[in-house]
Amino acid sequence: MKSELSRNGTNHYENVACPFCGILCDDLDIGPSGDGLKVLKNGCSKSVAGFERPLSEPKPQVDGKDVSLDEAINAAARLIKESRLPIFGGLGTDVDGVRAAIALAEKGGGVVDHALSEAQYRNFRVLQNSGWVLTTLTEARNRADLFIVAGSEIHKLHPRFFERVVCNEASMFSDNPAKRTVVFLGEGLDQSAVSGKRIGEVVTIPAKADRIAEILDAMRAMNKGGKISGDTIAGLPRGVIEDLLARCKAASYGVIIWAPPSLSFANADLTVQAISEFVKEINLTSRFAGLSLGGNDGATSAGAVCSWQSGYPLRISFASGKPDYDPERYSATKLLAAKEADLLLWLSSFSNEIAPPETDATLIFLGAPGIKSPRTPKVYIPIGTPGVDHAGTMVRVDNVVSLPLRRLRESKLPSAANVLEKIEAAL
């Protein structure tokens, strides 16, 4: 995948990295359109909504009234200083923005959490407890001949995933790559993007999402020679599950794909664990791997930066003067619901999907213009979008590469990192 950005003509950029989902597709062409931008090539619904959002440069506000940036920064610093327990949440920003948020939380004695961390913890718990075997986007794109989509709306979260990884016709390792089988393990999953010469067979197994773990555990037992009684497994004909196991054993390189945000049911981390344990065990005789997607709104970058800065993933508190990790106690959602936190600084520079939650806590909102707050914040500071209004870096969803983002238009909007650093300096 290309990551270098080149310029072709006036304000026409090629091989642009798109920050609006965790895949970070880096092959877009972006050109001018009036005072804004237009996606000219290789776009999707998310990239169009993000890049073509009209340029707006509203004033910072305190109590709903326009003020200077310095006044807003000083007001935010004062509120943080007076707060009993501030939360630095949302974290919809790039690597530098997360770095600055953690530095501010450390100085202000607050809690750090991403808006999408509840979904991420469906993965984190499994990684911490038992580990896993994962592949990368590039490895899956070039080697896999069997893809199993486990209960996840991949096309909704990542509109170009199938095009880029599953349906691509070329391979680095073969001039005539084998056809691929794609299995949709779940009810009502969008299959519309699975097409093309590379696709050999599309299989639908309408399992209920909360019973996918049962299917995988049964296949683990059968793979070991164990006996499973009954004519059905997880409400499906036994033969369907036996056929799926046979496909897995026959694959030269199989990949099970899931997206934690889609597994929104009780104890969904047990499904991730079932996937991981199946992959580890079938690897004894076949080549298999997992591939976790998601990571939108900078979630992957937030988790990565938090880990290398503090030694812990998200949900850490600096209230004691040092990093204190507790994934249950320091959930921003739980702290706000229990009214244990009295201030929320919310960062959202990509989309309305992580708008500030309803809360009685004092709200400081750093958001890109067009991203709405459910109520008038105490302090509002408009910020730019990484990869549009300013340069930056983001970590791709598979955690193996960081991609550079470039400034594509003239904008006076400051970056989240710049604003947070100024607030820290004012404390």
pLDDT band at 169 (very low <50, low <70, confident <90, very high): confident
Q: Is the pLDDT of residue 206 over 60?
A: yes
**Alpha carbon of 47 to those of 26, 94, 407: distances in Å?**
11, 16, 15
Among 243, 233, 228, 242, which Cα is nearest to 213's? 233
Residue 176: partners with Cβ closer than 8 Å, 6 or more residues away: none
Among 311, 295, 277, which Cα is nearest to 395's? 295
Among 254, 148, 274, 154, which Cα is nearest to 210's? 274
**Average pLDDT value for residue range 394-407:** 96
Q: CA 132 to CA 73: how far, in whole Å? A: 43
Residue 380: partners with Cβ closer than 8 Å, 6 or more residues away: 60, 61, 62, 72, 364, 365, 367, 373
Q: CA 96 to CA 2: how far, in whole Å? A: 22
Q: CA 102 to CA 109: how far, in whole Å? A: 10
**Average pLDDT value for residue range 144-172:** 95
| Residue 184: strand pairing partners | 149, 204
pLDDT one-digit tens code per residue, 17-55 = 999 999 999 999 999 988 789 999 999 999 999 999 998
Q: CA 183 to CA 201: how far, in whole Å? A: 8
Residue 69: partners with Cβ closer than 8 Å, 6 or more residues away: 60, 381, 414, 419
- Residues 408, 387 contacting (CB under 8 angstroms): yes
Please check whether the two domains, 61-116+297-426 and 121-292, share a CATH topology: no
Helix (H) or strand (E) holding 423: helix 416-426
Question: Domain coordinates of the chain in residue numbers?
Answer: 6-51, 61-116+297-426, 121-292
Q: CA 20 to CA 34: how far, in whole Å? A: 22
- Residues 28, 12 contacting (CB under 8 angstroms): no
The least confident of 58-62, 83-87, 131-135, 372-376 is: 372-376
CA neighbours closer than 13 Å in the CB half-sphere of residue 119: 19
Q: Is the pLDDT of residue 5 over 60?
A: no
Describe the strand order of the beta sheet including 288-292 as a list of residue ranges: 199-205, 180-185, 146-150, 254-258, 288-292
| Residue 324: strand pairing partners | 317
Q: CA 243 to CA 339: how far, in whole Å? A: 51
Q: Is the pLDDT of residue 253 over 90?
A: yes
Q: SS3 letters for 261-306?
A: HHCCCCCCHHHHHHHHHHHHHHCCCCCEEEEECCCCCCHHHHHHHH
Indicate the average pLDDT of the chain.
94
Q: Which contacts qualify for 368-376: CB closer than 8 Å, 24 or more apart?
A: 368/53, 368/413, 369/53, 369/56, 369/57, 369/58, 369/413, 370/53, 370/54, 370/56, 373/346, 376/63, 376/64
The least confident of 165-179, 273-287, 335-349 is: 165-179
| Res 357: pLDDT | 87
| Res 3: pLDDT | 35
pLDDT one-digit tens code per residue, 282-322 = 998 889 999 999 999 999 999 999 999 999 999 999 999 99
pLDDT band at 10 (very low <50, low <70, confident <90, very high): low
Helix (H) or strand (E) holding 142: helix 137-143
Q: Is the pLDDT of residue 112 over 80?
A: yes
Backbone dihedral angles phi then psi of residue 403, each to the nearest 5 degrees: -110, 140
Backbone dihedral angles phi then psi of residue 240, each to the nearest 5 degrees: -65, -40
Q: Architecture of 61-116+297-426 per CATH?
A: 3-Layer(aba) Sandwich (3.40)
2.170.190.11, 3.40.228.10, 1.10.10.60, 3.40.718.10: which CATH number matches 121-292?
A: 3.40.228.10
Single pTM value for the model: 0.93
The end-to-end CA distance of the chain, in Å, is 43
